[in-house]
Structure 1
Amino acid sequence: MIGRVTDSPGVLVLAATPIGHAADAPPRLATELAAADVVAAEDTRRLRRLASDLGVTVAGRVTSYFEGNEAARTPQLLEALQRGERVVLVTDAGMPSVSDPGYRLVTAAVAADVPITSVPGPSAVLTALAVSGLPVDRFCFEGFLPRKAGERTRRLAALAAEQRTMVFFEAPHRTAAALAAMAEVFGPDRAGAVCRELTKTHEEVRRGPLGELVDWAADGVRGEVTVVVAGADDTAQVSNDPDSLRAAVAELEESGMRRKDAIAAVADQAGLPKREVYQAVHVG
């Protein structure tokens, strides 16, 4: 039975969890897990192990909240919040909603005027940036690249002129292909870093030009992977003369991109309207 909605809603707590060592957990995480009315976890088994490592007994209700049930489970958690309960959301590692479940629940809570707070803590994005050796004064997080080669190339082409340092998550079995696509679109000399198993026993950070990282990854990559890539040099813009525009579009087409998308990407890099690139390609 659904309880009565109160005039005093509960609180949604987005709690960061360790990306490696349990000892990296913020002290407040244990307090929140122990006091929660509901703990929504991406993997309830991992939650139990984490609670055991922290010496915490989770007395509240534990429910799963992962990609497969996020849409269906969000209304239930929102009802709990509107009943005045304290809901703690945790994922397998890092901050909820950052390439992990949580965004749907956050937006639902915002729409319902439910208070939201956070237990700050470990982040693979910031950790990778800090150890990459690349500029960190300005950066952007791009999450996971598309799995399909054509879509991945189009996404990277749209970032070719990005001057901020870029951070990507990647699955280990797709890391070699992702690096190859980055080297093709950004150029093999663009600086990068592959951060593997951050804060764990087998932590490794491999730094170098993308071309060298492609060779390194050819034999396979294991573990959790975060890739950091230097932004474009502000002088590395596409020239706006017709021959250069045609060559840039042709290069992207050869990599598997549709002409329409290639024209749009080159226009963005050159800072030109798409119609001008289109005319250079089709009219000459």
Structure 2
Amino acid sequence: MNNKIFVIGTPIGNLKDISLRALETLKEVDIILCEDTRVSFKLLSHYDIKDKKLISYHKFNEKEITNKIIEYFNSGHKIALISDAGMPKISDPGFSLIKKCNELKINLEIIPGPTAFVSSFVISPFEGSFTFLGFLKDKSSQRIKQLKELNEGIYIIYVSPHKLIATINDLELVFKEKIKIFLSKEITKLYEKHYYGNAKEILEQLPESIKGEYTLCFKYENEKIKKEKVNKYQKFSKF
């Protein structure tokens, strides 16, 4: 194994969704940087990966300990970076270390794995390019302002369960009937479920108790503008 830092994707739910190369690498490294060591321990134990130094590397400490990680690397330790689920840096920790490695020209090797927003988009009824926004702003007023700045297109966001209803209400307030929503719950897990419709229809389908992890795709299409463009073209085509 060459002297490099490995950035590894892990399952987003189903523990079987991990590559052979990811498992081989996790077995060979000395140090594994984990978003939450308790979560990562379950994955590692499932595949009988033992005797590894697990270091907590999360959004609250990644800037502070990045230099320490580089020291470990320079002393010859083999290091892997993982998050609780999916790919590091995608709404997860990892940016500080990856940025530092690029600055110092330290070799990085990516071992890809599943990503929730890609998985949700693939099975959605939407087609074309999209923009991933990650998590929207926490406060409703901030979210509304953020949404009003969007142009037509397809967007994907992550939504925590306690903000799901409020976020859908904000989408309806801003876009009215001009959007369609595809909502995914617990992708690859036992209670995986998907919803499709406008904002009101989605709210009607949701259970009273909102639990789990959600990925929300929405397509914003201003039909009024499209009709105006068509009419202008048709009028021009008469000449």
Q: Which amino acid aligns with 1:193?
A: F
Written as runs of structure 1 = structure 2, the 5 A alignment for 1:61-80 is: 61-80=53-72
Matched with 1:12 is: 5
Matched with 1:49 is: 42
Matched with 2:32 is: 39
Matched with 1:85 is: 77
Matched with 2:193 is: 204
Q: Taking structure 1 as reference, are residues 234 and 35 closer, same or farther at Cα in structure 2, changes over 3 Å only? A: farther
- For the Cα contact (< 8 Å) 2:3–2:78, is it kept in 1? yes
Q: Does 1:22 align with 2:12?
A: no
Matched with 1:113 is: 105
Distance 1:235 1:81 in 2: 57
- For the Cα contact (< 8 Å) 1:11–1:86, is it kept in 2? yes
Q: Does 1:227 align with 2:216?
A: yes
1:224-252 deviation per Cα after TM superposition (whole angstroms, max 9, x unaligned): 10000014348648x9xxxxxxxxxxxxx
Which runs of 5 or more residues in structure 2 are unaligned? 229-239
Q: State the Cα distance separating 1:158 from its structure 2 match.
A: 0.9
Q: Does 1:176 align with 2:179?
A: no
Q: Which amino acid aligns with 2:92?
A: D
- For the Cα contact (< 8 Å) 2:186–2:212, is it kept in 1? yes
Q: State the Cα distance separating 1:89 from its structure 2 match.
A: 0.7
TM-score relative to the length of structure 1: 0.75
Q: Which amino acid aligns with 1:199?
A: T
Written as runs of structure 1 = structure 2, the 5 A alignment for 1:88-107 is: 88-107=80-99
Q: Which amino acid aligns with 2:177?
A: P
Pairing partner for 1:185 from 174, 178, 183: 174
Matched with 1:162 is: 152
Q: Which amino acid aligns with 1:209?
A: N
Work out the percentage of aligned pairs sharing the same amino acid. 27
1:96-153 deviation per Cα after TM superposition (whole angstroms, max 9, x unaligned): 0000000111101101111111111111011110112212x30110000111111111
Matched with 1:142 is: 133
Q: Which amino acid aligns with 1:145?
A: L
Matched with 2:125 is: 133
SS at structure 1 position matched to 2:92: coil
TM-score relative to the length of structure 2: 0.88
SS at structure 2 position matched to 1:200: coil
Higher radius of gyration, 1 or 2: 1
SS at structure 1 position matched to 2:183: strand
